[in-house]
């Protein structure tokens, strides 16, 4: 079967029907949805207007006012059911992710697993939204902090993790007592529709069990930039979690700051790995290959810069170039494929531009050429590129959302550490070494300046248990595990006087 006649639109409509999305929603609208697998049109969806968006957010606020009163462990029950529904839907939704985004099937399924994992995490969390009891200086007083629901949580997600990013935010926001309003990428609205339908199934079961939930607890907005702008500017939305490019963050961040709303920004990454003299090179090769070529270089955690010590450079880099030359590129639905397509032609052009700039800066390029265009003229498959660079200059300092790995030689550990940090972005990083001093230095205060710093694994593929996010132009937000939930709640400090006198703090006297 060639790429041209995969019959994806028929398959997608069957999947969506099984997941509970009405067929009527898939045609007649203005938003054309195409599969990057072969360029086939999958649907034409209706888009919401700015006025309707405003109304939907007002309704989400009403939902919040009720939902915040439901005890947190009961809210957790809804998320437990969501996790169950996602388990049932995993094969269908994972395949839909692959068709809509072009990531290989095991990664499509992995994305749904990530949704299930965060649901499990959030269920436990629903009984652990702990505050502190704090020693007070005043007799017969008690001081404590409590965590309360915050309000409507806006979620803006990118095409590359079209549903997992929603779940990291929504699972936490919902157990924290918030309602959610979701604006997915225009490139991936079908997986969003499917996810919303799965959520509604969980909600129906929750209500059938006797659970209380308001209407409009989870709202999906299919639309363009104007819709995102209404969400960002809306006074009823105290928190927006936005994932995308640094350019998007620069547009969104100041608008939120202007109205003192909170933001969780998850922006560009330009992630590096350092390969030290003692590194296990077989392990390194596998770690680098997955981190740099996986998801066709379209993760925000993708490995983009590799610093290799001069003593192992000639042992590692030729093997790496060979692996790049032989990796299977093609239909992401076939189990033998490791590298699927780029999301679209714009992405291909940006990749070629970066490669041309790298060449002009003295880079030696292997790969990077377009393949399979005879089978599918509207799909953009590329051979992943390794570029040996004389220095960290030009395009190396930018995030190009494509499979380009810039490789540089280093001789001194501190120099490699400096290079790791010497880019505007600060998401993820890693070191391959069996030297304890190098490993510990890398994760220390004078080591990597990124939100994620790994030893002997690549920078991508984080699990949900840790806080996910990065520093500098990556935006500073944290999502998913650890105590990231705190961003979705408001903290109140309460002092209670159970005595008969009124001692003032700091010994102040004020007797009237
Ligand atoms: C993203 O690329 O937008 O760590 C998120 C990872 C995944 C999430 C990536 N768990 O690569």
Q: Give the atom of ligand 1 at the shortest distance from the alpha carbon of 269.
A: 2
Phi, psi of 51 (to 5 degrees): -65, -45
- Catalytic one of 40, 111, 266, 388: 266
Do 258 and 344 belong together in one domain?
no
pLDDT at residue 27 in the model: 96
pTM exceeding the 0.95 threshold for the entire prediction: yes
Do 420 and 460 belong together in one domain?
yes
* Ligand 1 pocket residue status of 299, Cβ below 6 Å: yes
Do 148 and 275 belong together in one domain?
no
* Ligand 1 pocket residue status of 460, Cβ below 6 Å: yes
* Ligand 1 pocket residue status of 475, Cβ below 6 Å: no
Distance CA(73)–CA(127), nearest Å, equals 5
Does 509 map to a domain?
Answer: no
Phi, psi of 34 (to 5 degrees): -120, 150
Do 173 and 277 belong together in one domain?
no
Do 110 and 142 belong together in one domain?
yes
Which parts of the chain sit beneath pLDDT 70? 1
Do 318 and 461 belong together in one domain?
yes
183 CA distance to ligand 1 centroid (A)? 19
Structural domain span for residue 419? 271-468
* Ligand 1 pocket residue status of 462, Cβ below 6 Å: yes
Q: pLDDT tens digits, residue range 114-173?
A: 999 999 999 999 999 999 999 999 999 999 999 999 999 999 999 999 999 999 999 999
Q: Give the atom of ligand 1 at the shortest distance from the alpha carbon of 158.
A: 3
Domains identified in the chain, total number = 2
Q: Quote ipTM for the complex.
A: 0.98
CB neighbours of residue 467 within 10 Å: 18
265 CA distance to ligand 1 centroid (A)? 14
* Ligand 1 pocket residue status of 271, Cβ below 6 Å: no
181 CA distance to ligand 1 centroid (A)? 21
Do 175 and 284 belong together in one domain?
no
Do 312 and 406 belong together in one domain?
yes
* Ligand 1 pocket residue status of 301, Cβ below 6 Å: yes
160 CA distance to ligand 1 centroid (A)? 9
Do 99 and 212 belong together in one domain?
yes
Numbers of helices and strands, H then E, in the chain: 13, 23
Structure tokens belonging to residue 223: 């639309």
Beta bridge partners of 142: 496
Does 55 map to a domain?
Answer: yes
- Please provide the distance, in angstroms rounded to a whole number, between the alpha carbons at the two ends of the chain: 90
Does 497 map to a domain?
Answer: no
Does 476 map to a domain?
Answer: no
- Tokens 């998320």 locate to 79
266 noted as active-site residue:
yes
Structure tokens belonging to residue 502: 């009124």
For ligand 1, mutation pick of 248, 457, 468, 478 (most atoms within 8 Å of CB): 468
* Ligand 1 pocket residue status of 157, Cβ below 6 Å: no
Does 475 map to a domain?
Answer: no
Does 504 map to a domain?
Answer: no
Supply the CATH number for residue 388's domain. 3.40.309.10
Q: Give the atom of ligand 1 at the shortest distance from the alpha carbon of 266.
A: 3
Do 289 and 427 belong together in one domain?
yes
Pairing status of strand 489-497 against strand 141-149 = antiparallel
CB neighbours of residue 91 within 10 Å: 15
Q: What burial letters (b/e) apply to 135-172, b meaning 16+ CB within 10 Å?
A: ebeeeebeeeeebebbbbbbbbbbbbbbbbbbbbbbbb
Tell the residue nearest (CA) to atom 6 of ligand 1: 461
* Ligand 1 pocket residue status of 192, Cβ below 6 Å: no
pLDDT at residue 1 in the model: 67
Does 473 map to a domain?
Answer: no
pLDDT at residue 294 in the model: 98
Supply the CATH number for residue 61's domain. 3.40.605.10
* Ligand 1 pocket residue status of 480, Cβ below 6 Å: no
Does 193 map to a domain?
Answer: yes
Do 377 and 450 belong together in one domain?
yes
295 CA distance to ligand 1 centroid (A)? 10
299 CA distance to ligand 1 centroid (A)? 6
Which residues are CB-contacts of 401 (< 8 A; sequence separation ≥ 6)?
160, 245, 297, 298, 347, 350
Distance CA(271)–CA(459), nearest Å, equals 7
By residue count, the chain amounts to 512
Do 110 and 255 belong together in one domain?
yes
């Amino acid at each position: 079967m060639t790429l041209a006649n995969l019959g994806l639109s028929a398959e997608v409509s069957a999947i969506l029907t099984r997941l509970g999305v009405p067929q009527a929603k898939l045609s007649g609208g203005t938003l054309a949805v195409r599969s990057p697998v072969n360029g086939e049109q999958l649907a034409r969806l209706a888009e919401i207007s700015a006025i309707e968006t405003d109304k939907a957010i007002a309704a989400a606020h009403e939902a919040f006012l009720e939902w915040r009163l439901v005890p947190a462990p009961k809210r957790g029950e809804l998320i437990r059911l969501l996790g169950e529904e996602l388990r049932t839907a995993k094969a269908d939704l994972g395949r839909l992710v692959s068709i809509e985004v072009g990531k290989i099937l095991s990664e499509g399924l992995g994305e749904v697993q990530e949704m299930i994992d965060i649901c499990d995490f959030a269920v436990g969390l629903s009984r652990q939204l702990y505050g502190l009891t704090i020693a007070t200086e005043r007799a017969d007083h008690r001081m404590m902090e409590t965590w309360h629901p915050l309000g409507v949580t806006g979620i803006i997600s990118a095409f590359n993790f079209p549903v997992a990013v929603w779940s990291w935010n929504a699972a936490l926001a919902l157990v924290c007592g918030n309602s959610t309003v979701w604006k997915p990428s225009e490139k991936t609205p079908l997986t969003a529709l499917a996810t919303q339908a799965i959520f509604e199934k969980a909600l129906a079961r929750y209500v059938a069990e006797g659970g209380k939930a308001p209407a409009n607890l989870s709202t999906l907005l299919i639309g363009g930039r104007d819709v995102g702008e209404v969400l960002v500017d809306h006074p009823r939305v105290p928190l927006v979690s936005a994932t995308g490019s640094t350019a998007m963050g620069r547009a969104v961040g100041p608008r939120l700051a202007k109205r003192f709303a909170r933001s969780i920004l998850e922006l560009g990454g330009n992630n590096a790995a350092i390969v030290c003299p003692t590194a296990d090179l077989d392990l390194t090769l596998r770690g680098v290959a997955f981190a740099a070529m996986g998801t066709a270089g379209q993760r925000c955690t993708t490995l983009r810069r590799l610093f290799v010590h001069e003593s192992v450079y000639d042992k590692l880099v030729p093997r790496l170039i060979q692996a790049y030359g032989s990796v299977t590129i093609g239909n992401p639905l076939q189990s033998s494929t490791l590298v699927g397509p780029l999301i679209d032609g714009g992405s291909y052009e940006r990749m070629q531009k970066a490669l041309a700039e790298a060449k002009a800066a003295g880079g030696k390029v292997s790969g990077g050429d377009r393949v399979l265009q005879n089978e599918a003229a509207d799909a953009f498959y590329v051979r992943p590129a390794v570029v040996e660079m004389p220095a960290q200059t030009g395009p190396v300092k930018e995030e190009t959302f494509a499979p380009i790995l810039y490789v540089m030689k280093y001789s001194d550990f501190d120099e490699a550490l400096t290079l790791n940090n010497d880019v505007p972005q600060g998401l993820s990083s890693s070191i391959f070494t069996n030297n304890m001093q190098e490993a510990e230095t890398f994760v220390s205060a004078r080591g990597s300046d990124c939100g994620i710093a790994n030893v002997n694994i690549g920078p991508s593929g984080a699990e949900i248990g840790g806080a996910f996010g990065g520093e500098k132009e990556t935006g500073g937000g944290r999502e998913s595990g650890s105590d990231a939930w705190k961003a979705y709640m408001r903290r109140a400090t309460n002092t209670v006087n159970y005595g008969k006198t009124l001692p003032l703090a700091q010994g102040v006297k004020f007797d009237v």
